[in-house]
Structure 1
Amino acid sequence: MDQPKNKYVDFVSDGHLLQCISNLHNAYLVAKKEFTKRKFYNNKVDTFKLTFDSKFNDISETDLIKLEMARQIDKSVNNAIGTFHEEILGGIKGYSHGKLSGYDIKANDDSIFAEIKNKHNTMNSSSAESAFQKLARFADDNRQAACYLVQILAKKSFVKKWAGIINGKEYSHSRVYMISGDKFYELLTGDNNAFFKLYRSLPLAIEDFLNSIDSHSAKEETILSDISESAEKAKRNILDEITFENFYYYEGFDSLNG
């Protein structure tokens, strides 16, 4: 009897894809829940930049603060996007997600080990050195293994030996590579369009997931109303309210206290 065709992509099950989306959704909810007014202020909002953004880009104060909140929350979920790709790739037949095992992805026959980075520019020299050394150890311990540093969002599509100067030292290994996200998805699936297929499937899969959960649980708690209320009591506009809370201890800024 033929197996039913997947609704989303053909290299992981529908259930696995939806679970990965659910995990990422939970990461967003946690980031929003943990994002308090105190944390917003502790991050030291650059109200000079906000003033320029408001005037030069013709953005209302309310919309500007919403964008700033979204930017701060976005910093918290960037790592979760990388984990999403790890979980997707770990659901491909013959591969597994390493979680806390020292690798992010490996082939079940130990022929492939990989470290996943979501963006090409997320590593400084020390973390790059550590990643190379770790992959080289996996290669040395598994004589037939190819080991990859994967850049999901790379500047171009590529596969190449990882060799060069890192942190002032020269590194190279015959079986340690760097690879772009599309090529790594192709390597694991045998389909050169696998990464694109995932992209095309996400809007429908996300919509199906959101329709399957309690909509009230996905509502964002906003701190904008708290800031607006404080500003109204102090007879300040919203931008002055945020500026005062960030810089009341600087000379002259106490004048914003009315």
Structure 2
Amino acid sequence: MKQYNLGFISDTDLYNHVLETVKAYSCEMDLKKFNKNLIDPVKLTFDTIVYDQSYKETIEFEVLRQLDKTNSNLIGYFHQNIFKYFSKDWQVPKKGYDIQNPKEKIFVEMKNKHNTMNSSSGAKTYMKMQGVVIADSDAQCFLVEIIAKKSQNIPWVVTIDGEKQKPIENIRRVSIDKFYEIVTKDKLAFQKLCSILPTVIKDTVDSLKTKNKENTVFEELTNLSPDLLTSLYLLSFEKYEGFKGLKF
């Protein structure tokens, strides 16, 4: 085991957490997975013609888009679950808040970007936190943003039904670097993690020694029809009137 020397997380826990993420990283795609949420062949037709590209290129972009969406969600879990390795007081419950520390009465909702919540979901989250601090004045609730506009630890002020709420000191909007500082007492903790992360990822990838996973989407689409455009429409609309046996 290499030494990563972060201090706030053991080398073994860091390695294993990154390894778990790498193993789950989505790199392959088959037709069933590709069409899990039903692709829109009309949009893909527009994309192909408007962007002046081949249907194969359009499908490749769609495959990459779907893989990226899956992996972005996975990275969210990486950020969330790493805190349970910092100390036994930090928990990642299956329900309720994303992260909590019952001993210090800290409750956390974590978002990837500062703009991922609309006003409705933001108000709902805020009111949930408001209920916590009203019930216990010692409790602290944090909205932690991984990609924030700037480093910050400020009262979270929201507008509900057109009315701007008065700041509550115990409900705060916190960037991920400041949250790491709260948890570890080291203001550079997040920077240190980011600095060593490429090394840890490479170590775990090298340890797996796996071949590139296969993308079978094109092969399976060709089995539906030799023409990719026809295959795309048959994939979604084969049971619609007039589409069975369709050829472009």
Q: TM-score range by the shorter chain?
A: 0.7 to 0.9
TM-score, with length taken from structure 1: 0.77
CA distance in 2, matches of 1:11, 1:29: 29
- The structural deviation recorded for 1:239 is 4.2
Cα separation, 2, equivalents of 1:223 and 1:167? 47
Please point out which of 169, 182, 206 is paired with 2:177: 182
- Percent identity, aligned pairs only? 33
The 1:159–1:66 alpha-carbon spacing in structure 2 relative to 1, beyond 3 Å, is same
Give the TM-score taking structure 2 as reference length: 0.79
Q: Distance in 2 between matches of 1:102 and 1:94?
A: 18
- Contact kept? 2:29, 2:217, Cα under 8 Å: no
2:92 corresponds to which residue? Answer: 98
C-alpha distance in 2, partners of 1:49/1:10?
52
Distance 2:102 2:73 in 1: 25
Gaps of at least 5 residues in structure 2 are none
Once the two structures are TM-superposed, the CA of residue 159 in structure 1 deviates from its matched residue by 1.8
User: What is the SS of the residue equivalent to 2:107?
Assistant: strand
CA distance in 2, matches of 1:90, 1:96: 5
SS in 2 for 1:9: coil
Deviations 1:112-150 (A, max 9, x none): 221111122222223212211222233334432322101
Deviation by residue 1:147-168 (Cα, 9 ceiling, x = unmatched): 2101111122222111231354
Q: Which residue does the alignment assign to 2:205?
A: 210
SS in 1 for 2:143: strand
Structure with greater helix share of residues: 1
Cα distance in 1 for partners of 2:133, 2:3 equals 35
Find the residue that maps to 2:169 and give its secondary structure. Answer: coil
How do 1:102-251 residues align onto structure 2 when only pairs under 5 Å count?
A: 102-107=96-101, 109-168=103-162, 170-172=164-166, 173-213=168-208, 215-216=210-211, 219-232=213-226, 236=227, 238-239=228-229, 241-243=231-233, 245-246=235-236
Q: Give the Cα–Cα distance (whole angstroms) in 2 for the partners of residues 34 and 252 of structure 1.
A: 23
Q: Does 1:257 align with 2:247?
A: yes
Q: Aligned AA for 1:75?
A: K
Greater alpha carbon shift after TM alignment, 171-180 vs 59-68: 59-68
Q: What is the aligned counterpart of 2:19 among 4, 17, 22?
A: 22
How many pairs align?
Answer: 246
How far the C-alpha of 1:13 sits from its partner, in A, is 1.7
Alpha carbon RMSD of aligned pairs, Å? 3.4
- Cα distance change on mapping 1:167 and 1:95 into 2, 3 Å: farther
AA partner of residue 43 (structure 1): I
Deviations 1:2-43 (A, max 9, x none): xx9942633212222233223433543499579535426x13
Distance 2:95 2:240 in 1: 48
CA distance in 1 between partners of 2:50 and 2:89 (Å): 46
